[in-house]
């Protein structure tokens, strides 16, 4: 099964991707995580991406398309994959079509902007493995420590309030048109994000397995 998770930043794509990847035994591919790893390792790609990311802007299409193309060639994608955070623009979706990658379903997780702002301020991510937590909705067992790998959980720089505002603006302008794009392709399923993560997960799994 080849899946795309759509939704605004903070809609819960990463958390849902983690659940689905375990349920279906396919990798979750997050372009955001790949870019953050490049920044951590101070590669030329990371250096270039950092300025855009810290300002809440999108990294240029050409860069992320190349990252994804390479990642999809890995062996673990043979039985399917979940894309979390790609595509984020219509040209990226078109590039995916041109790669002849079959997409079975696109799950759009919808959450109102006001809720997103509150959610992102409580989000914490593991510096080592990228696992995602929330101080209120999904706390790690020990505060500041990742359940999965014992790494340190921190607030992302781009989760600060001003950057969140800009990320939401960019989302509405550049990513939201994909809802129309995949509706026309007959692939879109909408999931209303719920207060409880587990409730959203139940709806997401239903949308994927239906």
Which residue in 15, 31, 200, 204 binds ligand AMP (CB under 6 A)? Answer: 31
Q: Does 64 bind ligand AMP (CB under 6 A)?
A: yes
Q: How far is the CB of 133 from ligand AMP (least distance, A)?
A: 14
Interacting residue with ligand AMP among 21, 58, 203, 207 (CB under 6 A): 58
**HEC-encoded secondary structure of 70-129:** HHHCCHHHCCCEEEECCCCCHHHHHHHHHCCCCCCEEEEEECCHHHHHHHHHHEEEECCC
| Helix (H) or strand (E) segment spanning residue 120 | helix 113-122
- When binding is defined by CB under 6 A, the residue of 167, 188, 203, 204 that contacts ligand AMP is 167
Distances (CA, A) of 153 to 121, 125, 199: 14, 5, 24
| Phi, psi for residue 11 in degrees, rounded to 5 | -75, -15
Confirm or reject binding of residue 7 to ligand AMP (CB under 6 A): no
Q: Phi and psi at residue 135, in whole multiples of 5°? A: -55, -35
Q: How far apart are CA 146 and CA 72, in angstroms?
A: 27
88 binds ligand AMP (CB under 6 A): yes
Best CA proximity match to 134, nearest among 120, 148, 146: 120
Identify the residue among 1, 48, 52, 101 touching ligand AMP (CB under 6 A). 52
Q: Is 126 marked as a binding-site residue?
A: yes
Give the binding-site size for ligand AMP (rule: CB under 6 A): 18
- For the CB of residue 102, give the shortest distance to ligand AMP in the complex, in Å: 19
Provide, rounded to whole angstroms, the least separation between the CB of residue 54 and ligand AMP: 8
Binding-site residues, in ranges, read 10-15, 31, 36, 57-59, 85-88, 92, 123, 126, 129, 132-133, 146, 149, 156, 167, 195
The residues binding ligand AMP (CB under 6 A) are: 9, 30-32, 35, 52-53, 57-59, 64, 85-88, 92, 158, 167
């Amino acid at each position: 099964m080849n899946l795309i998770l759509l939704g605004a930043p903070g809609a819960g794509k990463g958390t849902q991707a983690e659940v689905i990847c375990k349920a279906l035994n396919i990798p979750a591919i997050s372009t955001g995580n790949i870019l953050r790893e490049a920044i951590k390792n101070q590669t030329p790609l990371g250096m270039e991406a950092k300025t855009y990311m810290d300002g809440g802007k999108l990294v240029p299409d050409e860069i992320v398309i190349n990252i994804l193309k390479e990642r999809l060639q890995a062996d673990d994608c043979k039985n399917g994959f979940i894309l979390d955070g790609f595509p984020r623009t219509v040209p990226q979706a078109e590039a995916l079509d041109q790669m002849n990658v079959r997409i079975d379903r696109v799950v759009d997780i919808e959450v109102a902007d006001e809720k997103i702002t509150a959610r992102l301020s409580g989000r914490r991510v593991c510096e080592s493995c990228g696992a995602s937590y929330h101080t209120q909705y999904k706390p790690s067992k020990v505060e500041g420590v990742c359940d999965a790998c014992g790494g340190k959980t921190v607030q992302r720089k781009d989760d600060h309030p001003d950057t969140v505002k800009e990320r939401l603006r960019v989302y509405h302008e550049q990513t939201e048109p994909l809802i129309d794009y995949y509706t026309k392709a007959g692939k879109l399923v909408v999931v209303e994000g719920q207060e409880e993560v587990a409730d959203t997960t139940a709806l997401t799994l239903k949308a994927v397995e239906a």
